[in-house]
Structure 1
Amino acid sequence: MSKSLRLTEKWMQRGLWLVALVFASFLIGLGGTLVGDLPKVEKQLTLDDFMDRAASTALRSSIKTTEAAERDADAALEQAQLKRRVTQADSAAARETFNNWLSTRHATQLSGQDPELVARTRALDGLKDKERAAGMAVEAQQQAALDARQSSVRERRKLAEMEQAAQKLLNAEYRRIELRVFLYRLALTLPLLVAAGWLFAKKRKSTWWPFVWGFILFALFAFFVELVPYLPSYGGYVRYIVGIVVTVLVGRQAILALNRYLEKQKLVEQLPDAQRREELSYDTALTRLSKGVCPGCERPVDLKNPEIDFCPHCGIGLFDHCRACNTRKGAFAKFCHACGATGQRAHLPAQA
C-alpha cells in the first residue's frame, strides 16, 4: 500500500504511527503501575500468623531466659575455675614448703619440732580441703552451664518445629495469594484483550486508527508481559496446560479463518469480472500487483509478460486498453499512463 501513497501522506502515516506508539507507551506505563500495585491488596503474611502466638511467645521468652542463664553460668564457671587454679597453686606451694621443712627436720632429728609438724600438716590439709571445695564449685557450675545449654537447645528445637510447620502453611498461603493476584491481573487483562480484538476487527482502518493500534499494542503488552510471566507454575503443569489451551484455541481460529477465506475466495472467483473488480479497493489492488500476485485470487502471475491480460487462475482482468489512445494499461489504474484519460475499462480489441 505504501507505493500508492503520496509523499506527504507517507510522512503523515509515520507521524500517526508515532502517535500510536506514544499513546501505547503511556497506557503501558499506567497499566504497569496498576498491575504492580495489585499485590498490595493482599495482606503481607509472616510465620507468626501461622503459629500459636501464646506458645511461640512463651518459647521465645524461655529461650531468652535460658540464654541469659547460660551466660551467667559460663561467667560463674570461669570464676570458679580461676578460684580452683588459685587454690591448686596455694596447695602446691604449701606442699613444696612442707616437703622442704620435713627434709630439714629429718636431717636435724629435733623432736621439739613435732608440734610444728602437726600444725603444718593441718594447714596443708586445710589447703587441700579448699582445693577440693573449689573443684566441687567448678563441677557445680559446669553442671549449671550444661543444664542451661540443654534447656536452650530444647526450647530452640521446639520453636524450630513450630516454625517449620508454620512455614509449610505460609508457603501454601503464598501459592493461594499468587493465584489470586494472577486472577486479579487476568480480570484486568482479559477485557483489554477482548476489546483489542474487537477494535482490530472493526476499527483498525477507521479515522482514529492510531489510538486503536495504540490500545492494541498496550493490550498485547499487558497480556504477554504483565500477565504471562506471572502465571502460577505449580510444577509447570499450569503453564503447559494454559499453553496447550491457548495454542488449541488460536490454532482452531486460524484453521477456521483459513477455511472461511478459501470458501470466500471460491465464491468470489465465480462472480463476474466487473463485480469482482468493483469489490476490490484501489489500494488493495495496487498492493497485490506490486507483489506480483493477482489482486483477485492472490496467486502469482507474471505481470511482465505482455501477452497476459487476464489472470490464468481466476480469470480477472489485469490489463485492458485505453479508450482514448488504445494503449495497454493496468485494468485497475484510474488514469491512462500514456494520455491521462480516465481509466475506465474498455473492451479489448478483437485481435487480443
Structure 2
Amino acid sequence: MSKALRLSEKWFHRGLWLVAMVFASFLVGLGGTVVSDLPKVEKRLSLDDYMDAAASGALRSAIKTAERAGQDADTALEQAQLKRRAAQADSAAARETFNNWLSTRRATQLVDQDPELVLRTKALDALKDRERAAGAAVEAQQQAALDARQTVVRERRKLNELEAAAQQQLQAEYRRVELRVFLYRLALTLPLLVIAGWLFVKKRKSTYWPFVWGFILFAVFAFFVELVPYLPSYGGYVRYVVGIVVTALVGRQAIVSLNRYLEKQKLAEQLPDAQRREELSYDTALTRLAKSVCPGCERPVDLKNTAIDFCPHCGIGLHDHCGRCSTRKSAFARFCHACGTGAGPAAAVSRP
C-alpha cells in the first residue's frame, strides 16, 4: 500500500507505526513487571516446612553435640599422644641409662650397689607404668573420637531419611505452585489475547489503529514470552497437549478462513465487471497492481504487456481508454494521466 500513498502520508504512516511500537513497549514493560511479581503471591517454601520440627531439631542438636564431642576428643587425643611420646622417650632414656649402669656393675661386681639396683629398677618400672597410662589415655581418646564419628554418621543418616521424605513432598508442592503461577499468568494473558483478537477484527483499521496495533503486539508478546515458556512440563505431556490443541485450533481457523476466502473470491468473480471494480478499495487496487497481480483475483498478470486489458483469470478490466483523449490508462485510475479528465461513465470499457 505504500506505493499508493502520498509522500507525507508515508511518513505519517511510519510515525504512527513508531507510536504503536512505543506504546507496545510501555505495555510490555508494565506487563513484565506485573508478571514478575506473580510468584510473590505464593509463600516461599523450604525443606523445613515438610519435616517434623521436633525430630529434625533433636537430630541436628545430636549431630552438633557429637561433632563438638569429636572435636574435643581429637584435641584431647593430640595432647594424649604428645604425653605418650614424652613418656616413651623418658622410658627409653631411663632404660638406656639403666642398661649402661647395669653393665658397669657387672664389670665391677660391687655388692654395695645392690640397693641402688633396686631403686633404679623401681624407677624404670614407674616410667613404664607412666608410659602404659599415657597409652591407655590415647586409646580412650581414640575410642571417644570414634564414638563421636559414629554418632554423627548415625544421626546424619536419620536426618537424611527425614530430608528425603520431605524433599518428595516439597517437589510435589513446587509442581503445584508452578501450576498455580501458570494459571495466574494465563488468567492475566488470556483476556489480553481475547481483547487483542476483538481489536484485530473490529478496530485494526480505525482512526486510532496505532494504539490498537500496539495493544495487539503487547498481547502477542505476553502470550509467547510471558506465558508459553512457563508452561508446566509434567514430563512434557502438558506442553505437547497444549501445543497440539493450539495448533489444531489455529490450523482449523486457517483452513476455515482459506475456504471462506476462496468461496468469496468465486462469488466476486461472478459479479459484473463494473460492480467488482467499484467494490475494490482504490488503495487496495493500486497496491495489488504494484505487485503485478490482478486486483480482483490476486493472480499474477503481465501488466507490462500492452495487449492485456483484462485479467485472463477472472476477466476484470485492468485497462481502459480515456473518454476524452482515448489514451490507454489503468481502469482503476481516478484521472487520465494524459489529459487529467476524471474517470466516469464516459470512460466505460467495452469488451472487444
TM-score higher than 0.5: yes
1:180 maps to which residue?
Answer: 180
SS of 2:205's equivalent in the other structure is coil
* 1:232 alignment partner AA: P
* 2:302 alignment partner AA: D
SS of 1:227's equivalent in the other structure is helix
1:133 maps to which residue?
Answer: 133
Aligned-partner Cα distance in 2 for 1:178–1:341: 70
- 2:69 equivalent to 1:34: no
2:46 maps to which residue?
Answer: 46
- The Cα of 1:349 is off from its aligned counterpart by 6.2
2:272 maps to which residue?
Answer: 272
1:262 maps to which residue?
Answer: 262
SS of 1:142's equivalent in the other structure is helix
- 2:313 equivalent to 1:313: yes
- The Cα of 1:300 is off from its aligned counterpart by 1.6
1:62 maps to which residue?
Answer: 62
SS of 2:320's equivalent in the other structure is strand
1:227–1:319 CA distance, 2 compared to 1 (3 A)? same
Aligned-partner Cα distance in 1 for 2:255–2:36: 37
Report which stretch shifted further, 68-77 or 170-179. 170-179
**C-alpha RMSD of the superposition:** 1.5
Report which stretch shifted further, 168-177 or 196-205. 168-177
Q: Deviations over 1:113-159 (max 9, x none)?
A: 22222222122112211111111111111111111111111111211
- The Cα of 1:231 is off from its aligned counterpart by 1.6
- 2:151 equivalent to 1:154: no
SS of 2:169's equivalent in the other structure is helix
- The Cα of 1:165 is off from its aligned counterpart by 2.0
* 1:19 alignment partner AA: V
SS of 1:113's equivalent in the other structure is helix
SS of 2:137's equivalent in the other structure is helix
Q: Deviations over 1:42-68 (max 9, x none)?
A: 111111011111111111111111111
- The Cα of 1:308 is off from its aligned counterpart by 2.1
- The Cα of 1:331 is off from its aligned counterpart by 1.4
Aligned-partner Cα distance in 1 for 2:81–2:110: 41
| Consecutive unaligned residues in structure 2, runs of 5 or more | none
* 1:125 alignment partner AA: D
Aligned-partner Cα distance in 2 for 1:153–1:267: 85
- The Cα of 1:258 is off from its aligned counterpart by 0.4
For these two proteins, the number of residue pairs brought into alignment is 351
Aligned-partner Cα distance in 1 for 2:137–2:324: 130
Aligned-partner Cα distance in 2 for 1:156–1:235: 32
Report which stretch shifted further, 300-309 or 99-108. 300-309
Q: Deviations over 1:193-236 (max 9, x none)?
A: 11111111111110000000100111111111111111222232
SS of 2:190's equivalent in the other structure is helix
Q: Deviations over 1:266-302 (max 9, x none)?
A: 1111112222122111111111111111111111222
* Map 1:4-43 → 2, pairs under 5 A: 4-43=4-43
TM-score, length of structure 2 as denominator length: 0.96
Aligned-partner Cα distance in 2 for 1:309–1:115: 148
* Map 1:274-289 → 2, pairs under 5 A: 274-289=274-289
1:209 maps to which residue?
Answer: 209
Aligned-partner Cα distance in 1 for 2:147–2:250: 70
1:42–1:348 CA distance, 2 compared to 1 (3 A)? closer
Aligned-partner Cα distance in 1 for 2:102–2:309: 144
| Consecutive unaligned residues in structure 1, runs of 5 or more | none
SS of 2:226's equivalent in the other structure is coil
* 2:38 alignment partner AA: L
- The Cα of 1:326 is off from its aligned counterpart by 2.2
1:87–1:348 CA distance, 2 compared to 1 (3 A)? closer
| Regions of 4+ moved over 4 Å | none
Aligned-partner Cα distance in 2 for 1:22–1:165: 51
Q: Deviations over 1:291-339 (max 9, x none)?
A: 1111111112222222222222212222222222222221111111111
Aligned-partner Cα distance in 2 for 1:312–1:119: 138
* 2:287 alignment partner AA: T
Report which stretch shifted further, 174-183 or 5-14. 174-183
1:242 maps to which residue?
Answer: 242
- 2:87 equivalent to 1:87: yes
* 2:268 alignment partner AA: V
* 1:186 alignment partner AA: L
1:199 maps to which residue?
Answer: 199
SS of 1:334's equivalent in the other structure is coil
1:291 maps to which residue?
Answer: 291
Aligned-partner Cα distance in 2 for 1:100–1:330: 135
* 1:196 alignment partner AA: A
- The Cα of 1:105 is off from its aligned counterpart by 1.3
% identical aligned pairs: 81
Aligned-partner Cα distance in 2 for 1:322–1:47: 86
* 2:183 alignment partner AA: L
